[in-house]
Amino acid sequence: MKKDIHNKLIKYGWHTIANWVVLEIEGNKQKVDEFLQGQLTSDIHKIDENGFQLSSICDHKGFVICDFIINLNANVYKVVITKSLQTFLSKSLRHSLNLIQ
């Protein structure tokens, strides 16, 4: 437990997950890898099996518009994101996928 001297709050080492969701991205592993590598700010090739990585998506000017945690498990990517950004991320990835098909 750490005390935040600026706000006089006590910080515990946990976070509620009630406001978070998991989106699954699956398909042909090579194609999914290529697609995500072009969309995310992180190098998805560096995610180990059962590993996690912080990542984000930027707008065309390079500003971060959505950040999340991505996990690789059994060739399925799982994106852990707040509920408030779920719809936005889904639409953004679908739109990008439609542009490259």
| pLDDT given for residue 1 in this prediction | 47
CA distance 93 to 96: 5
Confidence of residue 10 (pLDDT cuts 50, 70, 90): low
pLDDT, tens only, 71-95: 999 989 999 999 999 988 888 888 7
Tokens of 19: 């406001």
For residue 87, give the H/E element and its range: helix 83-100
The whole-angstrom distance between residue 12's C-alpha and the CA centroid of its chain comes to 24
The domains located in the chain, with CATH, are: 17-100 (3.30.70.1400)
Is pLDDT of 55 > 90? Answer: yes
Burial class (CB in 10 A: 0-12, 13-18, 19+), 65: middle
